[in-house]
């Protein structure tokens, strides 16, 4: 029997899901949301729903904080740099001289 997987972005995570998935408390997530470390602007963390990208960022923050006893701001700086490196490693879009729709 095969199990159907669900894309997170089609069935977004609740605060409790996100916290459980990172093995932290919801308060841990809320504190980082309020400090702007998850790069999200939301007014109600409990009602908000979270994407794959936010899960990746929260897990990275959590790992860096735990592995290096890093303070949250420093961990966020490291994660910002990781994300920047990923963007830079993406193949650079070739300069569009001319795109033709066919």
Positions 5 through 64 that interact with another protein (CB under 8 A): 5-11, 20-21, 23, 52-53, 55-56, 59-60, 63
88 binds another protein (CB under 8 A): no
Residue 14 three-state SS: coil
Given a contact cutoff of 8 angstroms between Cβ atoms, the answer to whether 79 and 64 are in contact is yes
Q: How far is C-alpha 90 from the geometric centre of its chain's CA atoms?
A: 18
Give the separation between CA 70 and CA 83, rounded to whole angstroms: 18
Q: Name which of 47 and 92 has its Cβ closer to another protein.
A: 92
Q: Which of 68, 71, 73, 80 binds another protein (CB under 8 A)?
A: 68
87 binds another protein (CB under 8 A): no
Residue 80: which residues within 8 A CB-CB, separation 6 or more?
none
Q: Name which of 32 and 50 has its Cβ closer to another protein.
A: 50
For 53, what's the count of Cα atoms within 13 Å in the CB-facing half-sphere?
6
90 binds another protein (CB under 8 A): yes
Site residues for another protein per CB under 8 A? 1-11, 20-21, 23, 52-53, 55-56, 59-60, 63, 67-69, 82, 90-91, 93-94, 96-102
């Amino acid at each position: 029997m095969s199990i159907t997987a669900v894309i997170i972005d089609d069935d977004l995570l609740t605060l409790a899901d996100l916290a459980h998935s990172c093995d932290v408390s919801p308060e841990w997530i809320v504190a980082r949301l309020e400090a702007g470390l998850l790069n999200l602007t939301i007014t109600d963390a409990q009602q908000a729903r979270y994407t794959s990208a936010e899960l990746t960022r929260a897990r990275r923050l959590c790992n860096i904080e735990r592995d290096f006893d890093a303070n949250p701001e420093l961990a966020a700086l490291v994660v910002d740099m990781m994300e920047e490196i990923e963007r830079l490693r993406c193949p650079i879009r070739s300069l569009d001289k001319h795109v033709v729709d066919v």
